[in-house]
């Protein structure tokens, strides 16, 4: 079942990219007590993700924070090392990278997709959401191949 507005984020292990290296975190602990703008990309270093999705959240970070967002997080079905390098090259310190190496997090959200035709296996769909104290308050899921409603610009218009 796909997560909906009002639902709580399920308890799943993620890997947070830190300056000291990968750190295992619990999703419930991460989202507790704060407002997080979370966006998911099918893969680090992929064309739309690198040219539009991540850069949009980087450029709009201050505006999102001015609207009450405490943290901005990006997740993908990639390992923490890939996510860390991607953030170093095209991201910023304003973006928290949450690696979902096995896809357990997107699976718990019901937002997986099969990218096997492209040699990528199971991935997360392109989406964004606003999570307040562990509960989803806004959810924007893209149609396959689209990039519109999961953008930072669209999120800013909605919150």
Measure the CA dihedral 97/102/107/113, to 10°.
Answer: 90
Q: How far apart are CA 149 and CA 122, in angstroms?
A: 22
| The one catalytic residue among 12, 36, 49, 109 | 49
What is each CA distance from 121 to 40, 88, 102, 125, in whole angstroms? Answer: 16, 25, 11, 12
Q: How far apart are CA 135 and CA 99, in angstroms?
A: 20
What is each CA distance from 53 to 38, 76, 112, in whole angstroms? Answer: 12, 12, 18
Known active-site residue 49:
yes
Instruction: List, edge to edge, every strand of the sheet that includes 35-40.
Output: 21-26, 13-18, 95-99, 71-76, 35-40, 127-132, 135-141
By annotation, the residues acting in catalysis are 49
């Amino acid at each position: 079942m796909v997560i909906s507005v009002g639902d709580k984020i399920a308890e799943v292990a993620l890997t947070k990219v830190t300056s000291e290296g990968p750190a295992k975190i619990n999703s419930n602990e991460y989202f507790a007590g704060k407002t997080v703008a979370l966006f998911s990309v099918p893969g680090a270093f992929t064309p739309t993700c690198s040219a539009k999705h991540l850069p949009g959240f980087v450029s709009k970070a201050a505006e999102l924070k001015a609207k009450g967002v405490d943290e901005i997080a990006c997740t993908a079905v990639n390992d923490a090392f890939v996510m860390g390098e991607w953030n170093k090259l095209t991201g910023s310190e304003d973006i928290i990278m949450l690696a979902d190496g096995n896809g357990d997090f997107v699976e718990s959200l019901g937002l997986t997709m099969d990218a096997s035709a492209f040699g990528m296996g199971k991935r997360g769909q392109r989406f964004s959401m606003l999570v307040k104290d562990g509960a989803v308050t806004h959810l924007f899921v893209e149609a396959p191949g689209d990039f519109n409603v999961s953008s930072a610009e669209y999120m800013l218009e909605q919150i």
